[in-house]
Amino acid sequence: MPKLVSHPDEVRVLSRRFGQGATNIDKYIELDGYKAVQKAIAEGPEWIINTMKASGLRGRGGAGFPTGLKWSFVPKQSDKPKYVLVNGDESEPGTCKDHVIFLEDPHAVIEGTMIAGLAIGAKLGFIYLRGEYRYLLKIMEKAVADAAPELAGVEFAPREAPLLQIMRRPAGAR
């Protein structure tokens, strides 16, 4: 990956692991990967939601709705299944934001999906990638497969964390 140009006062959040080999699970763990999900499991769903509310994180859709508030609306008790859906489509005109995260830090996507699932009580997460991103599909499938044995253990995420499935739509689909 090319070296990213940044301002001296910049605090890298999303790109902090870019260019450091974080697609490899051992490197991701070395770079403190999966520690956030460990903390989320220890603290519980209410803590996750309150932390998200306090963070001010907003959705990337047109309304920019606050993420923590959205998660707080999900019924705590429900007979219906709950899911986490990750949209890696980049179908908005002029956007090229998602594929870099999937390419450089796929385990962060997995970890974030797990934390979202823990917050709302989901048992299954779906990560969607558009058909044109076949190379990302391979990266994400490998990351999920590599993470599965680690995530099955107590150290990372016992049964409370959602299982993940990767989905894609054929190229050119709308």
| Helices (runs of H) and strands (runs of E) counted in the chain | 7, 3
Contact 127, 88 (CB under 8 A): yes
pLDDT of residue 106: 93
pLDDT digits (tens, 9 = 90+) for 44-82: 999 999 999 999 998 876 688 999 999 999 998 899 989
Domain ranges of the chain: 25-74+82-169
Q: Which CATH class is domain 25-74+82-169?
A: alpha beta
Strand order in the sheet with 83-88: 83-88, 124-130, 163-169
Instruction: Using the predicted structure, report yes or no on whether residue 145 has a pLDDT greater than 90.
Output: no
pLDDT digits (tens, 9 = 90+) for 130-140: 878 888 888 98
96-to-75, 122, 151 alpha-carbon distances in Å:
33, 28, 30
> What is the rounded CA–CA span in Å between residue 122 and residue 161?
8
